A and B are shown apart, each in its own frame.
Chain A
Amino acid sequence: MAAAIQVRQLTKRYGQLVALDQIDLEIQQGEFFGLLGPNGAGKTTLISSFAGLVAPNSGRVAIMGHDVQTDYQNSRRCLGVVPQELVYDPFFTVRETLQFQSGYYGIRKNDAWIDEILANLDLTGKADTNMRKLSGGMKRRVLVAQALVHRPPVIVLDEPTAGVDVELRQTLWKFIRRLNEEGHTIVLTTHYLEEAESQCGRIAMMKAGQVIALDRTSALLRRFATHTLRITLRNGDVLPARIAETAERRGTQWQLQFERFEQIEQMLAELRNAGCVVEDMEVGKPDLEEVFVKLMRAETE
């Protein structure tokens, strides 16, 4: 079985700037894959090279086994891309937009599928509305619909939820998860790390044109994230000096970082021995944001 997306030694330079630096990446069919990184890390350039919008200086990309340069007809048929920019053609209605998009892929009568996509994205009532009359969130949904008209096995979404309200975000994720369950491969970039954490099975983190971490989401969290403990002591109690060294004061709270749960147990014992009484305690779960910040810092240093 061919990989959904296979990237080999992909390099793209814009003058002096190396946007993609010998990227190797393989995304399997059926994956829900996240591509994270700060602005300018090369995420959009990478996605654009999947779609043939960017011609690489060297290396190759294949979509479902079809090379995007030499077999572009098939590779593009296998790929649906939701661009980051909120672009639309102001001359046409939603339905016209989707009919044209179907036609570009060589599909003539596609109205049954178009109706189904519209229904799933809550756009049925807007089918005959001109694009320019839609709100930003609706235009975003039409972009998603446009990427799906030709039923591509691989769907790439570049920041699909940027500037989208909560309700729409829910609708969108529900639909995208369904597509994934039906076998579509999903690749997304997002700035909302909690979204990547909850949706993506595997994550690649990019920085300065390179993939600096690539693993299952849970493994990334285990490897890089720590547990956060926040405690409030009884009025007048003093935190033992050894613990205070690593703690951070936040108002009446102390915040501490632990790599393993057992360490928390040890610290609580120490507090008991010192005669401190814990009035309030919260344990924070490791999150992707922390992993992200850590990785980005580590690379800079």
Chain B
Amino acid sequence: MTSFLTLLYKEVLRFWKVGYQTVAAPALAALLYQLIFSHVLSTHVKVYETLSYTSFLIPGLVMMSVLQNAFANSSSSLIQSKVTGNIVFVLLPPISYGAFYAAYVIASVIRGFVVGVCVLLASWWFSPLTFVAPLWILVFAVLGAALMGTLGIIAGLWADKFDQLAAFQNFLIMPLTFLSGVFYSIHSLPEFWQMVSSYNPVLYMIDGFRYGFFGISDISPWRCLSVVMICYLLLTGLALILLKRGYKLRS
């Protein structure tokens, strides 16, 4: 237990010590999206009848920040440790692969939360928000962040160099999050693209999360929960297998 708590604390301290880069910068980026999109689009776009576009945008941006930062935390920590070689400090002690997994994922969830809360508090100022079903908000935030933290572990283990990880981030994570209904409702898309979007797991995380605020969504929150849960369990299974085998950690 002590080894798990130590690793968790170290992972949290790692991002906290460079908070301007790991918390403030992504929060600022999200606020800029909020400012620009709501300024440009609020008079043109109406997603739901009862909701202003500015309000619609907030949960999506919050969740996008949570997801991207959760992924960034575990993946960047692992790749940095691998490239600099200090990964050996956690490979020499008797830390079980389960504790290793849990520490990296929970630290990712914490970073996602910290950034998410910053974005939420700051964007509240732009537009009023409701919290119809807070439990759904929490469930999707935790599960989504854990899923992306897990994916970050897998990417961090797989990548040998920073540019490989950057490719993973730019060609997979970015498109998935941007094309997930953060900025629009999928019902506004042509049918073909609606179908394509329905294979994007991030869509379900955003939509379920948004349901918690307004009580309305494109897809039922239960369906969202099942999709996200299944994806999470699959990725967790994969991550645990890789860690148990010492994939790219122990030759």
The residue that A72 contacts in the complex, of B81, B88, B94, with Cβ under 8 A, is: B94
Q: Which of B1-9, B62-70, B157-165, B188-196 contacts A (4 or more CB under 8 A)?
A: B1-9
Is the beta-carbon distance between A53 and B3 smaller than 8 angstroms?
no
Contacts of A55 in B (CB 8 A): 246, 250-251
Interface size class of B (residues with CB under 8 A): 20 to 34
| Minimum distance in angstroms from B11 CB to a CB of chain A | 10
Contacts of A51 in B (CB 8 A): 91-92
Is the beta-carbon distance between B84 and A53 smaller than 8 angstroms?
no
The residue that B2 contacts in the complex, of A74, A87, A103, with Cβ under 8 A, is: A103
Indicate if B90 sits at the interface (CB-CB under 8 A). Answer: yes
Contacts of B86 in A (CB 8 A): 87-89
Question: What residue of chain B has the Cβ atom nearest to residue A51's Cβ?
Answer: B92
Q: Which of B13-21, B147-155, B171-179 contacts A (4 or more CB under 8 A)?
A: B13-21
The residue that A104 contacts in the complex, of B13, B18, B90, with Cβ under 8 A, is: B90
Question: What residue of chain B has the Cβ atom nearest to residue A147's Cβ?
Answer: B92
- Dominant SS at the B interface? helix
The residue that A53 contacts in the complex, of B2, B10, B91, with Cβ under 8 A, is: B91
Bits for B77-95, please: 1 = Cβ < 8 Å to A, else 0. 0000100111011111111
Question: What residue of chain A has the Cβ atom nearest to residue B14's Cβ?
Answer: A91
Indicate if A73 sits at the interface (CB-CB under 8 A). Answer: yes
| Minimum distance in angstroms from B243 CB to a CB of chain A | 14
Q: Which A positions have Cβ atoms within 8 angstroms of B?
A: 14, 48, 51-55, 72-74, 76-77, 79, 81, 83, 85, 87-92, 96, 100-108, 146, 150
Sample of 5 further A-B pairs with CB below 8 A, known A91-B14, A100-B9, A103-B2: A51-B91, A74-B94, A83-B85, A100-B10, A107-B2
Q: Which B positions have Cβ atoms within 8 angstroms of A?
A: 1-3, 5-7, 9-10, 13-14, 17-18, 81, 84-86, 88-95, 246, 250-251
The 10 closest A-B pairs by CB, nearest first: A103-B6, A104-B93, A87-B85, A73-B94, A76-B94, A106-B2, A89-B86, A87-B86, A100-B10, A104-B3
